[in-house]
């Protein structure tokens, strides 16, 4: 029933002069009171599966009654997506500066004391509207810095400017070799029950440069600040990073599953009129402080023994390290395990590593959601 | 019963001055009449599984009576193996020159008319010994060129110099995302029945710079030349490239299977005293001229539909191409198939491709071996 | 007086779907009998100065009476130009395959015996026209291969298809750190007196995959073949590679000098009506067989002592090699020189090198042109 | 008179198992009361000139009476130095993670209130000794984290552990295309008069991950904290980053000039007995807040017009931007200038840039030191 219209946004310019553009797809909602949505995918160049999810979701939505405005920004980092090195996409960081494309979003550093003093007389919805306008203007001003801004920051702030217009922001990523997992701010933990994602990282309100944080932190801060002034309201904006399994992979059937999970969340939030039930599945949570990175204690060839997304008991093999230079010694083949129960969430993509390479990320102290 | 001794060979020097070395493992055979063997792995930096096969094979051989000398050179390209770009190993070509590490071997271009005229009076085994000495001396001279040689050529000629000493040369590689397959020279097709490898490419006698060709071409040429002079003998040297499934993967259990396949071949050739039977499995062949590369007819996101190593009928889906910039048009999602039956052998490693990227290599006109 | 019109040609498609396009500028000549010209620049991504030369030349030509058609293709490799790695352009080879962008041109391998037998009755100019059509059709067929062709080959054949339409082909390159030099086929050595380029490499008629060879080899072959049949004519097509000093450098003033040199050649060939004299300067030649590559005999930090473009006597310092790991030994600081007089033409771009890195290319047995 | 002894430190392990080692050179001082010194070079892989300065300085010191202990760590990042991409060293960031090698140092985050309460009874020199021990132990603990640490952090903390032992820390870097400049903490501004470096950036006490900050920040913090408690002492440790002109360049003669500048500073500080006068030259300063980065306002080919190290008046050409896709329009050739007087300190290394590339860093509000 809904109709998708296309446009493009320019986010930069290549050395040859060609415009860096992102295709945008908009569905106009029929109820201006319904929440608006912004969904982007592929900010990291190798993390393509989110595009397939957007494709399936747009297809699905054609059969629903869409109440809130929805904007899709697939292929959201054309420079990163097109940057190949050998047989893989080198799309995690700007190849010139090394800066992670998902750490380039803008920290507004709004002076809340001043801003709130000026706007506290406003009713909630008008207050939110004013705050939203402030965030968007701040982005626009940033893009017009007299000495310019970096390539990656221009991209990020252009995307952020669109995200700030929405009530719900979804940033579709993947891990290297990964099971599905969700980054979810603590205040919004109920949302985790809707997506088709078994593992959820519960994250605090601190800005590290990522899109989800860029979208929700200013609102969480506003909510916090107001609460201290005695005015209580829920954080008005929801933002999540969905990690949809492994990079360098397109799987249309699996994309449909995640599209339905997103649809269930949008249904719950009233973005579509129809009721869509979430998948019936076990879901687990872990606090960010319990999310551990395991680095290669020594260099070598790696057999990844632990399957991602499956509980691993303390003492069970995580990796085998093979050292062909040490054949005939005890160090030629070493089995590495962890001293606590965990769920391996993702592992490194290459099977030969320098000492210190991040081999696995594991959840510990996992709890049922 | 056999004993492995370790040494190292220096094949270059890094900018910081550190030596580029390769570990060598030798088993001294008990019968000087038995064929000698040279096995190397990991000349392409991301193709690590051959090391695991060498590891399993050395372990196995400790329980056998080894008649012929065997040299193992795992981790045969330290510069390539250690060269990372993003989360993957950039080990297919020299990062400075772009030259494929497996196209750097030396073409001796021996003047056979002259050489044969000088040596034709020799008995076969002495003739072969003389020819072998000529090849090794040619390598040594190459390494001492007054104006020097390139980094990659130094590595290759150093390896080649060791390979020329052996009667049997195995170069262990992998494909990107690949099933197991064997490069086998036409004259040696019987050998393909011993390895644990289902698909064999039958290759002609032409030098393209690869190790297997570098090892067998000079001997095939000698055999051809002698035949034209009326002296007939079998090509005295066997050389194969084994493609052991996918790159960036260590699988010790699968490595054991391939180690046993190699053992079966070595048993057949009399390198070990014990009889080791090859795996009972279907094996197929394809002439190189029937091995087809399919290039992306357009750019886009790729879902690889066809499984490697499984027959695909004409008209069945090979890949889906997803074009998120074209949503709403017929070109948003295109299914690509081939007009003939084939067996997909390998496909590209990344799921987003420029136009022209080699998507699949497929065998056509496949026959039972 | 002349007027430049713009168009574009599509030579590929990026993963995101964006077209890879090259801007084309055409000047329509007023005399159809005058030779036509094709000039391209920047096929290697870091070699940008040729664009500045085209810019200056197009500016200059607006003041001349242009008789022959001229096509300019600046920024001729958009994928290579836009491919950055760290602070530099990684534009010498396809980052996926490693293949040098200037070794991807098509070798038509025309069966001259058959072709000539069919066309020998034609008068020279009609014969040439037929041959030209054959070359262009061969390119077009190549672009339509049923299994597709590689990204780099598509680019090259698209460019080649334009080049084959011209009588004069100029491919503008640079070296890494380099003085100006010209690749000139032996039969066309007189042309070297017109460009503003002091050093000329005289190259034979053999196809190695580069544009200049792709343009002149088929014609040299035709001329050779016809001569053997008793029909003598000059090679009808001229093609040169101009190496315009160092990569990663735009110098508009120097570009004007080279634009004037090209203008002098075009004037000599009758492409413009006006007489333009070549620069009064010493010009030197060297046969390709006397053009030597010097590879780092050891690794280390390199001080490039010998200036490019200036004669260096035998025994004079070429490079200093500093080895900080060997301080206190005789090898900490070594001075390397060559045993013969030479003219260093170019040197490597980085000051730290692995063993085997090509440090310098030098001309020996240099003669006055 | 002084004698240099060599050792090595292992800072990691490559995938092939080879140790990553750094050569260390020590001069034992004759007076234990004299300040000790730590000098490292080449943490960024392409910034090689610091090694040449160390080479010249060690040579010079052999003729001096050295009172304080001096440790030299040239080639301080073997992984970064050996990482080539095309013809250049890709040594600014970890190729796997993108993290700048000079942003990996450890922020101890010492709880000064607690620490000072426990140690305030100590006399200054014992207090400093205790603090130094705390910093070094903190590094050692960091290296032994149970889940491991990253490759880059291991390198950095290993270097930092050595730096913390010294009273004077010099980190030798270069810019891309750069004039010589010094990063100098505000409290140590007098030191800037001794080095052979014309331009000095005066930096505040804030930790951004670089070596100089890692070395002086904890001491500045201690000094600040004590002052607030009424105990005043000068910051006991001096640390500077010297940017010794351009990367990818070895110039032994110029290295001698900088070695003499360092010698003058060491003489001033009493590290050597002899009096060495600083070079007689103009020296200028600029506060970090007045150090401006100019980003490419549009993409294109860049002619860098402004020479580094030379004052540029407001409105004078900084760069020419050439846009070959826009020939015939006003945008084909644009001259860019800045609205204020400045001194360009460094510019980007490549001559073709995407929009947003940092083209120049310039000092504004420059003052005489």
The predicted model gives C316-336 an average pLDDT of: 97
Distance CA A26, CA A7 (A): 8
Confidence of residue C232 (pLDDT cuts 50, 70, 90): very high
Contacts of B251 in chain A (CB under 8 A): 303
The reply to whether residue B55 touches residue A354, judged by beta carbons under 8 angstroms, is no
Query: Mutating which of D80, D151, D300, D339 best tests the A interface, going by the most A Cβ atoms within 10 A?
Result: D151
Which of D81, D86, D96 lies nearest to residue B15, judging by beta carbons? Answer: D81
The predicted model gives C95-107 an average pLDDT of: 97
Confidence of residue C2 (pLDDT cuts 50, 70, 90): confident
Note the pLDDT of residue A2: 78
Nearest residue of D to residue A327, measured between CA atoms:
D17
Nearest residue of A to residue D337, measured between CA atoms:
A147
Burial class (CB in 10 A: 0-12, 13-18, 19+), D313: exposed
The predicted model gives C22-51 an average pLDDT of: 98
Note the pLDDT of residue B2: 78
Tokens 């501004």, residue located: D189
Contacts of A18 in chain C (CB under 8 A): 18, 21, 78, 82
pLDDT (tens digit per residue) in A96-113: 999 999 999 999 999 999
Query: Mutating which of D11, D14, D15 best tests the A interface, going by the most A Cβ atoms within 10 A?
Result: D15
Note the pLDDT of residue D2: 78
Distance CA A178, CA A360 (A): 10
Contacts of B17 in chain D (CB under 8 A): 75
Q: How many CB pairs under 8 A join A and C?
A: 44
- The token duo for C228 is 């053997």
Tokens 């036509």, residue located: C36
The reply to whether residue C87 touches residue A78, judged by beta carbons under 8 angstroms, is no
Distance CA C62, CA C3 (A): 6
Q: Tell me which residues of chain D have a pLDDT lower than 70.
A: 1
Which of A15, A150, A354 lies nearest to residue D12, judging by beta carbons? Answer: A354
Distance CA C115, CA C139 (A): 16
Query: Mutating which of D356, D362, D363, D364 best tests the A interface, going by the most A Cβ atoms within 10 A?
Result: D356
pLDDT (tens digit per residue) in C186-212: 999 999 999 999 999 999 998 999 999
Instruction: Identify the DSSP state of B95.
Output: T
Nearest residue of C to residue B362, measured between CA atoms:
C147
Instruction: Identify the DSSP state of A66.
Output: B
- Quickly count: other Cβ atoms within 10 Å of residue B216's Cβ: 25
Note the pLDDT of residue A300: 98
Note the pLDDT of residue D1: 61
The reply to whether residue A15 touches residue C81, judged by beta carbons under 8 angstroms, is yes
Confidence of residue C1 (pLDDT cuts 50, 70, 90): low
Q: Which residues contact A71 (CB under 8 A, 6 or more apart)?
A: A24, A25, A26, A36, A37, A38, A39, A162, A165, A166
The reply to whether residue B78 touches residue D18, judged by beta carbons under 8 angstroms, is yes
Distance CA A283, CA A198 (A): 4
Distance CA B286, CA B242 (A): 15
Could you write out the DSSP letters of every residue in C239-272? EEEEEEEESS---HHHHHHHHHHHHHHHHHTTSB
Q: Tell me which residues of chain B have a pLDDT lower than 70.
A: 1
Distance CA D334, CA D332 (A): 7
Which of B75, B87, B96 lies nearest to residue D86, judging by beta carbons? Answer: B96
Burial class (CB in 10 A: 0-12, 13-18, 19+), D121: exposed
The predicted model gives A319-328 an average pLDDT of: 98
Note the pLDDT of residue D133: 98
The predicted model gives A278-289 an average pLDDT of: 98
Which of C17, C99, C325 lies nearest to residue B16, judging by beta carbons? Answer: C325
Note the pLDDT of residue A79: 97
pLDDT (tens digit per residue) in A155-195: 999 999 999 999 999 999 999 999 999 999 999 999 999 99
Q: Which chains touch C (3 or more CB pairs under 8 A)?
A: A, B, D
């Amino acid at each position: 029933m809904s109709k998708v219209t296309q446009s493009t946004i320019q986010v930069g310019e290549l050395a040859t002069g060609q415009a860096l553009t992102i295709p945008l797809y908009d569905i106009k909602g029929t109820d201006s009171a319904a929440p608006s949505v912004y969904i982007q995918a592929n900010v990291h160049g190798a993390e393509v599966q989110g595009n397939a999810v957007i494709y399936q979701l747009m297809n699905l939505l054609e059969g629903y009654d869409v109440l809130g405005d929805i904007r899709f920004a697939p292929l959201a980092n054309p420079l990163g997506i097109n940057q190949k090195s050998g047989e893989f996409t080198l799309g995690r960081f700007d190849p010139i500066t090394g800066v992670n494309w998902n750490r380039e979003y803008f920290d507004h550093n709004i002076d809340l004391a001043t801003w709130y003093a000026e706007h506290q007389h406003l009713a909630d919805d008008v207050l939110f509207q004013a705050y939203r306008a402030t965030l968007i203007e701040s982005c626009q001003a940033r893009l017009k810095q007299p000495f310019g801004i970096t390539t990656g920051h221009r991209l990020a702030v252009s995307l952020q400017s669109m995200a700030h217009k929405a009530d719900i922001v979804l940033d579709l990523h993947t891990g290297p070799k990964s099971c599905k997992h969700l980054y979810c701010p603590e205040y919004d933990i109920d949302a985790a029950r809707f997506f088709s994602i078994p593992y959820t990282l519960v994250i605090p309100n601190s800005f590290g440069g990522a899109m989800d944080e860029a979208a929700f932190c200013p609102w969480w801060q506003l909510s916090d600040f107001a609460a201290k002034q005695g005015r209580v309201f829920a954080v008005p904006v929801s933002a999540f990073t969905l990690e949809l399994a492994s990079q360098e992979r397109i799987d249309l059937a699996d994309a449909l599953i995640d599209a339905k999970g997103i649809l269930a969340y949008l249904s719950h939030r009233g973005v579509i009129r129809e009721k869509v039930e979430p998948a019936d599945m076990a879901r687990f949570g872990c606090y960010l402080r319990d999310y551990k990175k395991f680095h290669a204690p020594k260099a070598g060839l790696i057999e990844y023994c632990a399957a991602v997304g499956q509980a691993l008991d303390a003492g069970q093999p995580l990796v085998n390290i093979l050292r062909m230079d040490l054949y005939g010694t005890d160090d030629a083949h070493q089995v590495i395990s962890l001293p606590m129960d965990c769920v391996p969430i993702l592992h490194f993509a290459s099977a030969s590593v320098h000492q210190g390479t991040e081999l696995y990320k594991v959840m510990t102290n996992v709890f049922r959601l």
